[in-house]
Amino acid sequence: MEGKIIDGKEISRQVKEEVKSGVERLKAEGMTPGLAVILVGDDPASAAYVGSKERTTKALGMHSEVIRMDRETSESALLDEITRLNGDPAIHGILVQLPLPEQIDEQRVIAAIHPDKDVDGFHPENAGRLMAGMDGFVPCTPLGIMVMLERSGVDLNGKHAVVVGRSNIVGKPMAMLLLQANATVTICHSRTEDLPAITRQADVLVAAVGREGMIGPEHVKDGAVVIDVGINRGEDGKLHGDVDFERVLPAASSITPVPGGVGPMTIAMLMSNTLKSAGKALRESR
Ligand SMILES: NC(=O)C1=CN([C@@H]2O[C@H](COP(=O)(O)OP(=O)(O)OC[C@H]3O[C@@H](n4cnc5c(N)ncnc54)[C@H](OP(=O)(O)O)[C@@H]3O)[C@@H](O)[C@H]2O)C=CC1
Ligand SMILES: Nc1nc(=O)c2c([nH]1)NC[C@@H]1CN(c3ccc(C(=O)N[C@@H](CCC(=O)O)C(=O)O)cc3)C=[N+]21
């Protein structure tokens, strides 16, 4: 049983330590990495994530700017703010917290962020770079999962990885990274027929759906590695994953918990991407 639960909190702590050292090295060269986060509206969950990003940014010695905009903000006012941040030399990363209110077109907003400051990796240029195997920003959640797998000694070479979910921010980039690591990859979604038959083939199963406990023991092969991306607020007021943790645990060779799994890695990789952006800006200024 020992070591079976992949400790995302601990691995994220290590990544953040490494980022902190990198920030100190850049500062010694006169460069302070800066991250801007835009929050539109006052959804409590979004506000909590933004608060935690702000605290972490500062704790690692980086410059943090949080822009809070009214729920009724127009798309053009948000685009103006992004244009200003695109031109601000103190800002190396721009994150617009999703979801956005319905009067604002998410795709247009994402496309307005300069690709070199797109630390979320959501811009179509960065999505294309990932698909083409070129350097660029990789979305933080799938990138964090790759770091967790590496540091837990999971070998992906030739293994069957099954990703449940095909969003642009989690499922699709996750599948691409697993493919790059030489896994054989299957992507499942809401139209998939006989989901358990496919997920039971997985050596590595990634659940990124947003339905509490939808992955049960009948979905999991003995000895599989199970990664739970889902963040669902349960009726008990607590956070739950997409995986029915207690019932899947016996079959899994290793498994990530919620909370304390993928979530903390997402923030750590956001910090890592911001450091990477600032490092690139410094090199290009020379
Ligand atoms: N831990 C973290 O850091 C993060 C966690 N999350 C969490 O991860 C989860 C997924 O996020 P996100 O990708 O943005 O969500 P989306 O809602 O964008 O995507 C969900 C995906 O799940 C698929 N799906 C829905 N129902 C089923 C089903 N019954 N069987 C199989 N597939 C299904 C959908 O299929 P279709 O395309 O056909 O509709 C879709 O592709 C959420 O709980 C979210 O909160 C997200 C980001 C970061
Ligand atoms: N532009 C944008 N980029 C994002 O990366 C982004 C976003 N919008 N919108 C929302 C989702 C969700 N997301 C999470 C980040 C951290 C935790 C996290 O740290 N979770 C902790 C628990 C936190 C708690 O207790 O509330 C954990 O799982 O242990 C969860 C979810 C980033 N997202």
Interval 35-44 mean pLDDT: 96
Catalytic site residue from 16, 53, 159, 276? 53
Segments making up each domain of the chain, as ranges: 30-114, 140-263
The per-residue pLDDT for range 103-117, each reduced to its tens digit, is 999 999 999 999 999
| pLDDT at residue 153 is higher than 50 | yes
What span, in angstroms and rounded, lies between the C-alpha atoms of 81 and 232? 31
Do residues 40 and 71 make contact, with C-beta atoms less than 8 angstroms apart?
A: yes
With 70 as the cut, is the pLDDT of residue 34 above it? yes
Query: Interface pTM (ipTM) of the complex?
Result: 0.98
Say if 30-114 and 140-263 have the same CATH topology: yes
Mean pLDDT of 83-101: 98
Residue nearest (by alpha carbon) to ligand 1 atom 21: 165
Q: Contact at 8 Å (CB) between 198 and 192?
A: yes
Say whether pLDDT at 1 is over 70. no
Q: Which CATH superfamily is domain 140-263 in?
A: NAD(P)-binding Rossmann-like Domain (3.40.50.720)
Which residue, among 67, 191, 169, 74, has the nearest Cα to 120 in the 3D structure?
169
For 241-267, write each residue's pLDDT tens digit: 999 999 999 999 999 999 999 999 999
Ligand minimally distant from the alpha carbon of residue 167: 1
Q: Which of 169, 209, 212, 266 to mutate to test the pocket of ligand 1 (most atoms within 8 A of CB)?
A: 209
- Ligand 1 centroid to residue 164 C-alpha, Å: 8
Residue 86 burial by Cβ neighbours in a 10 Å radius (0-12, 13-18, 19+): middle
DSSP string, 36-50: EEEEES--HHHHHHH
Cα first-last separation, the chain: 52
Q: How far apart are CA 85 and CA 62, in angstroms?
A: 16
Per the annotation, the verdict on 236 as an active-site residue is no
Ligand 2 atom nearest 52 alpha carbon:
19
CATH fold, domain 30-114, is Rossmann fold (3.40.50)
The answer to pTM > 0.90 is: yes
Tell me: pLDDT of 2 over 90. no
Output the 3-class SS for 67-122. EEECCCCCHHHHHHHHHHHHCCCCCCEEEECCCCCCCCCHHHHHHHCCHHHCCCCC
pLDDT at 210: 98
Per DSSP, the three-state class of 286 is: coil
pLDDT digits (tens, 9 = 90+) for 131-149: 999 999 999 999 999 999 9
Catalytic: 107?
A: no
- pLDDT at 262 (0 to 100): 98
Mean pLDDT, rounded, of the chain: 97
In this predicted structure, the answer to whether residue 165 has a pLDDT above a threshold of 70 is yes
